[in-house]
Structure 1
Amino acid sequence: MAQFFKAKPNKSKQLSSKLSLEITQLDHLGAGMAQYQGKVVFVAGGLPDEKVTVQLTEQKKNYAKAKLIKIDQASAQRREPNCPHYVECGGCDLQHLDVAAQRDHKQNALIDLMSKLGRDLVADEIVAPAITGEAWHYRRRARLATVFDKNTNHLQLGFRQTASSKIVSITQCNVLAKPLSDLITPFAANLNQLKSKSNLGHLELSQAENGLFAVLRVTKILPASDIRWLTEFAATHDICLLLQDNDNQLTQLHPQLLTEAGKQKVTLPFYSLAAENHPQQTVRCEFTPSNFVQVNGPINHDMVTQAVSWLDPQADERVLDLFCGVGNFSLPLASSAAKVIGVEGVPDMVQQAKNNAALNQLDNLSFHHADLSADLTHEKWLGKIDKLLLDPARAGAFESLQWLKKMRPKKVVYVSCNPASLARDSKVLIDQGYQLSKIGMVDMFPQTHHIEAMALFELNVS
């Protein structure tokens, strides 16, 4: 008899019957945690002290995940989400928790992760006050996706849906700076008037000290009528509108500025940071659409100020800034008169950082391109330094810290957007003779589970 293959049902993905659980705490990703049949069950949307009805959606050997069906007994810290798109949009996943409770959770989650390295590692006296700011309308930058439906001839503008590639059409964003949020609806209507709307990519909105900026990705050259329409829209809303082509080249639509050579000059957005030891002076940091910058301006300002204060650079010292970006920390550090070296893995950002050094007339600051996860043996900038600043991506700085013996800085300030990788990398520092002197939470992303942190390590010379 012929036998045919029949796939076995995936038991780990099968839905359970409805269960009643009690949430006891949040994990560091903001999900509620409960116990069921000896397993930890993660319930997105659940809060501590809540009794909930759930349905298991995934079961593993040591844990399970569940879908929140109903809140039977709500926490006193539960709040009605402020955003009409909250249920669908995948952005702000902690709006249902009181802001003060959000910050307490993040600080506790950070300390808990770090304390796993050693019970006495995070004493109360080394925990710095959290850096906090406005809970709403704090984002100075956002990228909105577009999807064109040829059947309806309609262009959707919005954010990605939770755990999906689908787009949620939005009319507002309550964590985006108010002037940018107010642009979403008119921009969506305007783009749908274009003849070539099927050739549009994402839309990036930015608020800078020199105005509002919008960058529209285009996959083909737009017809003249579309250019006129967009130019009028930019003038009406007082936006600096840039088109970005497939080669990442920028064309500015409003206003038209020419260089002495007759070529178009693109206006770049910028923000200012306090100059070290010169409270009345600032350094100017320009960036382009492809550059990474911190989205929360006031928090970034306070974070940079704290990092420079903790490092305490002196005029005769050599300071290394790894993962330096466009100079967010390097520029203020160099204003202290110390010799500063910035290293970044993205070539375009290295060039922009060099431009920023020249713009601020800082000749004690140099920038270099390097893959910081690779072999750095032959890098000329690698050597003995006095102070080190690290601001890596979520993956952390584990590979870079393998060169710690060669650098041997007296102080290390580690700025982290992932406390799990910070905890892992802290072990490398501690094993190399450093002690954790200060640590604090930075609330860069209110209404979300994301935890930014800063830690100071000092070389133990005893």
Structure 2
Amino acid sequence: MLDRRARLTATHYFSIAGGTVSQTLELEITDLIHDGRGVAHIDGKAIFVSGALPGERVLARMNARHRHFDEAQTEEVLLASPDRVEPRCAHFGICGGCSLQHLSPAGQIAAKQKILLENLERIGKVTPTNMLAPLTDLAWGYRRKGRLSVKYVEKKGRLLVGFRENNGKFVADIKRCEVLLPAVGDRIEALATLIGGMDALRELPQIEIAAGDDLVALIFRHLKPLSEKDRELLLAFAKSENLGVFLQPGGNDSVHALWPEDAHLSFRIPASEIDIEFKPLDFIQINEGINLKMIAQTIDLLDLQPKDRVLDLFCGLGNFTLPLARRAGQVTGVEGEASLVARANTNARHNNLHNVDFFSANLFEDQRATPWAKQKYDKLLLDPPRSGAAEILEYLPGRSVQRVVYVSCHPGSLARDAGILVQRHGFKLSAAGVMDMFPHTAHVESIALFER
């Protein structure tokens, strides 16, 4: 029997044991999962429903059966959530770039905060003493880094430029993107027309986007040398649209500027009077407004004093390290990618900072014998990738560390590491909150403060 949260429509039937006659169901949505899909249940088995929100009743068509859960797609909303809004993008539901445009901004924040707290309690067995106010900024046109796929579709006889579809198999047929910086998002169709007229239209699989404060750059990956005609087309496009154009014929080291020849990428952190230069394929935070607010909040949470010694792990180009060095006595940044460390050192000199040192080290291996790991620090900043910092927490933080700020891009790994800091290292989770780095997506970025 179906439970009361899932009812058959009058003209369709469904069998739990198999032998289905049809797969259209009327479902009550009770929750959201980590990727933004709604959750319903039939006889205790979860169904993940794309395009559905908690509190809604929807007609959904089953599209995949699994042992422990099923998947479905909303076909009609019978009872809408008060948080449902009209998606701004005409391609929502097809393009895989966003999954939550149908949920109000306030609803998105509430959902992400709920996911963060549930992860902390379920995985880490910890609860923050205080909740930080969510960090928010522009909801549209915010994305300054990204990768667009390029595909010439023989059956359609034309070229597509866009993100992947929800199923990941095909390039979405889009004309504009609402979350990319307008300099790029408004020119998706123009890019498709440009590449569609090139000799290399079948040999150009992707375009990277990298925007500094003064230049928005496109990096064209090409599998074969470009003809003179193609180079002229790209050059004319760059000049007419006032965009930087880089070419990438091979690996990351092969990237070079086509126009302007002296192309320079950088972004400023005005509150700290810092200017950070970067290469087109370097990692930078994709949301400028949230990045500036995140840096300010990190400085505030660390409660920096003029004599503090601070360790910044997974420091990248020095996005946090250099602003910290404006306020602390000594800052040490450690990063796994040697090229980023080299540019971080250059950025320190460029900003006339002499109280900061950078080291290259694989932070997923035991580094306790290294000179930097043997030093004593007062404060620790962690900004790891999705996998978290469990390996580091085997030997850090040292007993001298009084405060740890953890910047996270995955609530599950943050929760695990929070449990380690609290239960093994004697810290308390004083505060935590979400940062809306990726509006309209299900990504949950957060920040947490641990105190001795």
Secondary structure (helix, strand or coil) at the match of 2:77 reads strand
Task: Report the Cα offset of residue 408 of structure 1.
Answer: 4.7
Task: Report the Cα offset of residue 405 of structure 1.
Answer: 5.2
Q: 1:415 corresponds to which residue?
A: 407
Q: 2:217 corresponds to which residue?
A: 213
Q: 1:252 corresponds to which residue?
A: 257
What amino acid is the match of 1:196?
Answer: A
Q: 1:457 corresponds to which residue?
A: 450
Rounded Cα–Cα distance in structure 2 between residues aligned with 1:16 and 1:346: 53
* Counterpart selection for 1:158 from 158, 162, 174: 162
With over 3 angstroms needed to count, the CA separation of the structure-2 counterparts of 1:164 and 1:60, relative to structure 1, is closer
Q: Deviations over 1:106-154 (max 9, x none)?
A: 122212222336887234xx11111011211111222111123467774
What amino acid is the match of 1:414?
Answer: Y
* Counterpart selection for 1:136 from 120, 140, 156: 140
Rounded Cα–Cα distance in structure 2 between residues aligned with 1:18 and 1:446: 31
8 Å CA contact 1:19, 1:54 repeated in 2: yes
Task: Report the Cα offset of residue 61 of structure 1.
Answer: 5.6
CA RMSD of aligned residues (A): 2.3
Q: 1:6 corresponds to which residue?
A: none
What amino acid is the match of 2:404?
Answer: V
Q: Are 1:361 and 2:357 matched, yes or no?
A: no
* Counterpart selection for 2:393 from 394, 401, 405: 401
Rounded Cα–Cα distance in structure 2 between residues aligned with 1:15 and 1:43: 20
Task: Report the Cα offset of residue 365 of structure 1.
Answer: 1.3
* Counterpart selection for 1:186 from 171, 185, 190: 190
* Counterpart selection for 2:305 from 296, 300, 314: 314
Q: 2:246 corresponds to which residue?
A: 242
Q: 1:102 corresponds to which residue?
A: 108
Secondary structure (helix, strand or coil) at the match of 2:372 reads coil
Task: Report the Cα offset of residue 59 of structure 1.
Answer: 4.9
Moved more, 423-432 or 215-224: 215-224
Q: Normalising by structure 2, report the TM-score.
A: 0.89
Q: Are 1:31 and 2:37 matched, yes or no?
A: yes
8 Å CA contact 1:121, 1:436 repeated in 2: yes
Q: Deviations over 1:366-412 (max 9, x none)?
A: 21111111121332211221111111111111111111254652110
Secondary structure (helix, strand or coil) at the match of 1:169 reads coil
8 Å CA contact 1:139, 1:296 repeated in 2: yes
Rounded Cα–Cα distance in structure 1 between residues aligned with 2:367 and 2:125: 34
Rounded Cα–Cα distance in structure 2 between residues aligned with 1:14 and 1:420: 36
With over 3 angstroms needed to count, the CA separation of the structure-2 counterparts of 1:12 and 1:356, relative to structure 1, is farther
Q: 2:437 corresponds to which residue?
A: 444
Task: Report the Cα offset of residue 167 of structure 1.
Answer: 0.7
Q: 1:176 corresponds to which residue?
A: 180
What amino acid is the match of 2:184?
Answer: L
Secondary structure (helix, strand or coil) at the match of 2:115 reads helix
Task: Report the Cα offset of residue 294 of structure 1.
Answer: 1.0
8 Å CA contact 2:24, 2:61 repeated in 1: yes
Moved more, 417-426 or 186-195: 186-195
Secondary structure (helix, strand or coil) at the match of 1:148 reads strand
The gaps in structure 1 that reach 5 residues or longer are: 1-10, 258-266
What amino acid is the match of 1:256?
Answer: E
Q: How does 1:35-50 map to 2 (within 5 A)?
A: 35-50=41-56
With over 3 angstroms needed to count, the CA separation of the structure-2 counterparts of 1:61 and 1:165, relative to structure 1, is closer
The gaps in structure 2 that reach 5 residues or longer are: 1-16
Q: Are 1:273 and 2:269 matched, yes or no?
A: yes
8 Å CA contact 1:15, 1:55 repeated in 2: no
Rounded Cα–Cα distance in structure 2 between residues aligned with 1:29 and 1:211: 33
Task: Report the Cα offset of residue 246 of structure 1.
Answer: 0.3
Q: Are 1:294 and 2:294 matched, yes or no?
A: no
Rounded Cα–Cα distance in structure 2 between residues aligned with 1:445 and 1:161: 18
Secondary structure (helix, strand or coil) at the match of 1:362 reads coil
Alignment length (residue pairs): 433
Q: Deviations over 1:50-69 (max 9, x none)?
A: 11223444555654433333
Q: How does 1:416-435 map to 2 (within 5 A)?
A: 416-431=408-423, 432-435=425-428
Rounded Cα–Cα distance in structure 2 between residues aligned with 1:12 and 1:355: 63
What amino acid is the match of 1:436?
Answer: L
With over 3 angstroms needed to count, the CA separation of the structure-2 counterparts of 1:340 and 1:12, relative to structure 1, is farther
Task: Report the Cα offset of residue 161 of structure 1.
Answer: 1.0
With over 3 angstroms needed to count, the CA separation of the structure-2 counterparts of 1:17 and 1:170, relative to structure 1, is closer
Moved more, 433-442 or 368-377: 368-377
With over 3 angstroms needed to count, the CA separation of the structure-2 counterparts of 1:450 and 1:161, relative to structure 1, is same
8 Å CA contact 1:20, 1:51 repeated in 2: yes
With over 3 angstroms needed to count, the CA separation of the structure-2 counterparts of 1:24 and 1:235, relative to structure 1, is same
8 Å CA contact 1:291, 1:348 repeated in 2: no
Q: 1:264 corresponds to which residue?
A: none
Rounded Cα–Cα distance in structure 2 between residues aligned with 1:210 and 1:455: 32
Q: Deviations over 1:128-185 (max 9, x none)?
A: 1110112111112221111234677743211111122311132110111212212222
With over 3 angstroms needed to count, the CA separation of the structure-2 counterparts of 1:285 and 1:16, relative to structure 1, is farther
Task: Report the Cα offset of residue 445 of structure 1.
Answer: 0.9
Rounded Cα–Cα distance in structure 2 between residues aligned with 1:119 and 1:317: 31
What amino acid is the match of 2:306?
Answer: A
8 Å CA contact 2:380, 2:397 repeated in 1: no
8 Å CA contact 1:15, 1:58 repeated in 2: no
Q: 1:333 corresponds to which residue?
A: 324
Secondary structure (helix, strand or coil) at the match of 1:305 reads helix
8 Å CA contact 2:310, 2:380 repeated in 1: yes
8 Å CA contact 1:13, 1:57 repeated in 2: no
Rounded Cα–Cα distance in structure 1 between residues aligned with 2:266 and 2:124: 42
Task: Report the Cα offset of residue 435 of structure 1.
Answer: 0.2
Q: Deviations over 1:281-302 (max 9, x none)?
A: 5101121122111111001100
With over 3 angstroms needed to count, the CA separation of the structure-2 counterparts of 1:150 and 1:96, relative to structure 1, is closer
Secondary structure (helix, strand or coil) at the match of 1:160 reads coil
Paired-residue identity, %: 38
